Amino acid sequence: GAAAAAEGINKDGVAVLVSLDGWRADNLNGVLAHRPCPVQVSALGHRGTFGDAASVQLLLSGRVSAPPEMRHLYAERLLYLPLGHAPPLASRRPAGPAGAAPRAGEGEEGERAA
């Protein structure tokens, strides 16, 4: 289970653990709760806070999905990705003007790269 996985990660000396799960039904967040690494990061699986700074210290996000003025609502420290939470993918955009490719330096959320 989660305790055995966390023990293995810790034994292997992993310094940074990145979770892409978020809060899916089959997530592995129980491993994070055992705190097997010094630095644990939540990325892409969930745009909101993990809710527990002891389990997850950093959240990779975008300035649109997690505005800087809302940082106080997050348990984690926010690290902003230059192209936003989700990088642009042509397959995600609808055809036509509304789905036009972002301008240079913009991500799917219309965020400007820093």
Nearest CA among 52, 74, 51 for reference residue 62: 74
Q: What is the pLDDT of residues 32-76, one digit of tens each?
A: 999 999 999 998 777 788 888 889 999 999 888 889 999 999 999
Query: CA–CA separation, 65 vs 4, rounded Å?
Result: 34
Give CA–CA dist 92/50, Å, rounded. Answer: 25
Nearest to 101 by CA among 112, 91, 92, 90: 90
> Do 34 and 61 meet the contact criterion of CB atoms below 8 Å apart?
no
Tens of pLDDT along 9-39? 999 999 999 998 877 788 888 999 999 999 9
If we measure between CA atoms, which residue out of 82, 75, 90 comes closest to residue 107? 82
Q: Give the global pTM.
A: 0.69
